[in-house]
Structure 1
Amino acid sequence: MEDTSIIAFKTHLSNLLRARFPFLYISTWEEERALSVIRSVATQESLIKTTRKVFTWSLTNGMAEEGHKGSEESKHPVKCLEFIEAYDQPAIFILKDFHFCFGCGGRVADPQAIRKVRDLVPALKMSASPKNVILLSPTLILPLELQKEITIVDFELPSLLEIKGLLKELIDANKSSGRITIDLNPEEEDRLAKAALGLTLNEAENAFARAMVEDGRLDKRDVEVILEEKRQIIKKSEILEFIKTDLRIEDVGGLENLKRWLLKRNKSWLDSASQYNLPAPKGVLITGVPGCGKSLIAKAVSAMWQLPLLRLDIGKIFSGIIGSSEENVRKAIQTAEAISPCILWIDEIEKGFVGMTSGGDSGTSSRIFGTFLTWMQEKTKSVFVIATANNIHSLPPELMRKGRFDEIFFVDLPTKKERRDIFRLHISKRLTNPKVIGEFQLSKSTLDSLVDATEGFVGAELEQIVISALFEAFSEDRSIRLEDLEKAIRTTVPLSVTQAEQIHSIREWANVRAVAATPREDRVEYKQEPPAAPGSPEAEDGDIRYARGGRAVDF
């Protein structure tokens, strides 16, 4: 059974050929796969009406029919075009890597070849026999002179059905040999195939073969081998970074409301979700107080969902060459979609659009923002976007409209229960050596003492308190004591004191625009503002009552 995406491509291509489009451009790394599909279209009378011969050209082989070698003279690009002009039978001419004549990689464009292409356009349209030229290259290079003459045709990477077919062929071939153990149920097989989406058929075959030979078996654990192949794609991109993490969702203290929301959407890109007619989730915007776990959530979701995590560096998007910034964001989006399903993490997203209203960058930020918004609204690939922001007042209102993100979460200062969880996590993780532990006990009274003394501290500050206490013990070559932790607390001025006004401001914003990442039952424990800075009017008036930021919606 042929895949629907291939059927759609064949139909679209045949319509363009029948309509006498003179020059088509297919940008793909899968040259042989594309050639196979084009030859299939050229010989199917039901699609193309008038069947046609297929000629291929390359700098090394010249112009020739399949299985033949071209003449030495036809290797020259202009001579190749003259051959096309003189040929008087129905035909499709496939030019491999002809983009070198258009100038790329520092090469100078060939003006004679470009002019000849333009001269050939009316000749192809008016030819007595239908003739079309297809440019087949791994990259899209079009000189200004030809942008109105050449039609770009998208050729998608292998679909899930094609990947599954390849996987089944490999499983059947190796199962009968008895040398490879296959241990996959249908859901695990589906997950393995989906992990390979974004690879070419050749890359996917290599990844599956490598997974089999490494330990003589193919099972659900081999998803990591497939993801390693995807990392090769990301390594070639200077804009995206592949983040490898083993951080578990249990390693993030608190934020249970946000965790529950994410947990309910696990496996939503698998076929089982289609039974409920569910769309793949678009993403979440996580804003709030700095140092409270926004970035940790992005890393933990990647491990929980077993999806690759790509970090988009907004700073690398912008470039000094006019037009290249827009191209960078398009490349980043294409790369993310190529290896979908995946998670795209945009850290501190507000920094990327700081120049939108000022116009100081000739509108570059606005154009990039528009491209990103359109993609967020219309994307069909399973790319889950996690955007984090500290300065929410810099975020354009268009970004927060429903349809861009599934939900906006606000991360506030940790509650009493959340601080207890954070302390327990960091102390348990770092105190593993009996010599360091000594007589120290992580009892309920110890945790209560630490939690009560750290009201208004963010998660990052709580971690640093544990680290500072360990340095204190290390410097004296002894086990850790409760006094070390208490000393670290006394010498720390929390962010809630140094940035009290900013925290108050973002809480007011979040009360009507965002959902609290902390569940309702945990929020009631936190009754007061953190202590005010010594000597301030707020400190003289005593603690100020307040409502925590974020709407109380529980998932």
Structure 2
Amino acid sequence: MYSFQILSGLIQEEYPVIACESPLQERLRLLTHISQFCQTTRKRCYLWNLGEETIKELTVENSKLVIGEFQDYIPKPRQNKEDYFHILNFWKEYQENGILIIENIYPWIQENSPKKTEDLLVSEWMKSSLLNLKLYNQNTGKVALLLGATADISSDISAEIPIWKQDLPDVSEIINSLTQTSLLLPEYTNTDYLTVANAGMGLYISDIINLLKEVRKTTDFNNSEFVAQSLLKQKIQLLNRLYDIEFLPPPKVQLGGLELMQESFKKFKRLLTPRAKQYNLKVPKGIMLVGPPGTGKSHSAKACSQNMGIPLIMVDWGNFRSFGNQAEIKLERLLKLADKLSQIILYFDDFDKAFAGDDDLAKRLAGKLLTWMQERQSDVLVIASVNRMEWLPPELTRAGRFDYLFKVDLPNNGERYTIFKLHAARFDERFRNGGDPWDEEQWRRLLKATNRCVGAEIQTIVERAASTIFCQTVIEDTYSQSKLPPLELTIEALLEERRQINPLAIREADRVESMRNKADQQALPSSPLDESKFAVGNINIFS
């Protein structure tokens, strides 16, 4: 309820106009809260929006919102567009005190207002009307609340109107709201409530309640752990839709090589502990992974999530540009979500592509992200993958923003050996549990042929070889529950698939080498020197 308390404080100070930002799903709860506040303070509460010809009066009975008719308002015939918003003039001249909630205003008073001459005139008329409300309604006990999902106000009037934005609830707010419902069982303990509330973190109360209603259809509510697990699954699906992200619980992945970087991830995990907090230690503000495409930067972020044991939010940074005027708002909401979840990894893929041109939107987004990274107090770890460092603004790479820069390079012989075995084990059981059916000479043939291949290309080679062998050796196509005949990969099949692809580091050699050289100048190595038996220095050139 803390967020509502801030709004109540603004209303009590009787600001004539207050801009309110609240998601649509919270509308009923917010209207109910404002109505209850009005009844407590002996004020009348009204609601107007474009969907109603008249003003409605709001009251609360038995914690339920009651909508009644308000007789004193006679709408003006709608002949011109400004007539639709005659409510602003009415409220300026109305003699009684109270609170009027006005919806559908923001599209007309936002920063990028309508461009058509007629619409522009309406926009300017509405902004002037709001300024008149502030001027004429001072100390009258009348408050106009502008309500919408996005409180976007033109800069020429924004200084005159305070803005309240509904925050995501914390654990105590969620628990308090759940105790007022009949969704959970009476015998639930404080620990049970805490378990369910933690699973719902990052959602608004209305979303949590609606998801719990769905969960109740298929889940035994006698076990709070089962309820929390089901709620978490539903939450992940909802967050992915709402924020256009990929939310992943700590995944189980295997990473071939990059030992130096993985050691750093394990160190960062310790910085999340209560003891580290006692020493005023925190996780780095940001980590940048630099290197050519396909070298495993996204996979490294998943490995970081696994090593640290915290969830991962994967975001395509370039996608924000496609949101146009909504890009900054979407980024701001995503950063608020990350702050509320706190111990989480926020991964921006292809971070450099948004800065390829001289783009004002890209600069504004970068500025918002940098400001947040500089000021945040939560334990969010930001990871960004970059191909070309020269595209980035210099301020992005200075200490205090991205504290660690790791070069994720083309895999060496030892790393390619490990990557081949990891992917081969998916299809050929001889490679599982540390098995290795091939001798050293066979491996040297394969590793030499795949020099300058990245991890993604090695994965493709193995998958295509497995498909080819399956089609050549397995005749039956029907599903069988009996033990399957083994699928055995061969060096010849892998070499044949290698011949059919042209690795990026070879066909775009100049571009890839430029990326590697730039990364060398600024980033730390992710891998130690190759000390495997396949290292270049261990090859006997006289054999």
Do both proteins adopt the same fold according to a TM-score greater than 0.5, normalized to the shorter chain? yes
Give 1:209-288 correspondences, 5 Å limit: 209-216=213-220, 217-219=223-225, 222-223=228-229, 225-236=231-242, 240-242=244-246, 248-250=252-254, 252-266=255-269, 277-279=280-282, 281-288=284-291
Give 1:320-359 correspondences, 5 Å limit: 324-325=324-325, 327-338=326-337, 340-341=340-341, 342-356=344-358
What is the distance in 1 between the residues matched to 2:464 and 2:455? 14
Superposition deviation, residue 16 in structure 1: 7.1
Gaps of 5+ in 1: 45-50, 531-541, 543-555
Which of 14, 33, 36 does residue 9 from structure 2 map onto? 14
**Residue type at the aligned position of 1:69:** G
Partner of 1:200: 204
Verify: 1:94 aligned to 2:101, yes or no: yes
Distance 1:26 1:462, change over 3 A: same
Do 1:62 and 1:69's aligned partners in 2 also have CA atoms closer than 8 Å?
A: no
Q: 1:125-157: CA deviations, max 9, x gaps?
A: 2x4x44322222223354688545432222212
Give the secondary structure class of the aligned counterpart of 1:429.
coil
What is the distance in 2 between the residues matched to 1:261 and 1:168? 42
Verify: 1:391 aligned to 2:388, yes or no: yes
**Residue type at the aligned position of 1:235:** R
What is the distance in 1 between the residues matched to 2:163 and 2:373? 23
Report the number of matched residues. Answer: 492
Superposition deviation, residue 57 in structure 1: 1.8
Deviates more, 1:226-235 or 1:157-166: 226-235
Deviates more, 1:258-267 or 1:341-350: 258-267
Partner of 1:78: 86
Do 1:78 and 1:113's aligned partners in 2 also have CA atoms closer than 8 Å?
A: no
Q: 1:257-297: CA deviations, max 9, x gaps?
A: 32333344459779897566554653321111322111222
Percent sequence identity over aligned pairs = 24
Distance 1:487 1:136, change over 3 A: closer
Deviates more, 1:455-464 or 1:363-372: 363-372
Give 1:501-512 correspondences, 5 Å limit: 501-512=510-521
Which of 376, 398, 402 does residue 401 from structure 1 map onto? 398
Superposition deviation, residue 377 in structure 1: 2.4
Partner of 1:314: 318
Partner of 2:482: none
Distance 1:452 1:169, change over 3 A: farther
Give 1:363-382 correspondences, 5 Å limit: 363-380=360-377
Partner of 2:142: 131
Partner of 2:411: 414
Superposition deviation, residue 521 in structure 1: 7.3
Do 2:453 and 2:505's aligned partners in 1 also have CA atoms closer than 8 Å?
A: yes
Q: TM-score, normalised by structure 2?
A: 0.74
Do 1:410 and 1:517's aligned partners in 2 also have CA atoms closer than 8 Å?
A: yes
**Residue type at the aligned position of 2:86:** V
Give the secondary structure class of the aligned counterpart of 2:68.
coil
Superposition deviation, residue 462 in structure 1: 1.8
Verify: 1:31 aligned to 2:27, yes or no: yes
Superposition deviation, residue 426 in structure 1: 0.5
Partner of 1:158: 169
Which of 473, 477, 485 does residue 473 from structure 2 map onto? 477
What is the distance in 2 between the residues matched to 1:470 and 1:257? 32
Do 1:17 and 1:132's aligned partners in 2 also have CA atoms closer than 8 Å?
A: no
What is the distance in 1 between the residues matched to 2:196 and 2:281? 21
Verify: 1:66 aligned to 2:59, yes or no: yes
Give the secondary structure class of the aligned counterpart of 1:174.
coil
Distance 1:166 1:213, change over 3 A: farther
What is the distance in 2 between the residues matched to 1:302 and 1:147? 40
Q: TM-score, normalised by structure 1?
A: 0.72
**Residue type at the aligned position of 2:491:** L
Partner of 2:480: none
Give the secondary structure class of the aligned counterpart of 1:405.
coil
Deviates more, 1:73-82 or 1:512-521: 73-82
Do 1:124 and 1:131's aligned partners in 2 also have CA atoms closer than 8 Å?
A: yes
Give 1:461-476 correspondences, 5 Å limit: 461-474=457-470, 476=472
**Residue type at the aligned position of 1:338:** L
Partner of 2:297: 294
**Residue type at the aligned position of 2:347:** W
Q: Compute the RMSD of aligned alpha carbons.
A: 4.5
Distance 1:113 1:476, change over 3 A: closer
Q: 1:229-276: CA deviations, max 9, x gaps?
A: 353354255xx34366995232x2222232333344459779897566
Deviates more, 1:69-78 or 1:199-208: 69-78
Give the secondary structure class of the aligned counterpart of 1:25.
strand
**Residue type at the aligned position of 2:57:** A
Do 2:294 and 2:457's aligned partners in 1 also have CA atoms closer than 8 Å?
A: yes
Do 1:456 and 1:529's aligned partners in 2 also have CA atoms closer than 8 Å?
A: no
Superposition deviation, residue 27 in structure 1: 0.9
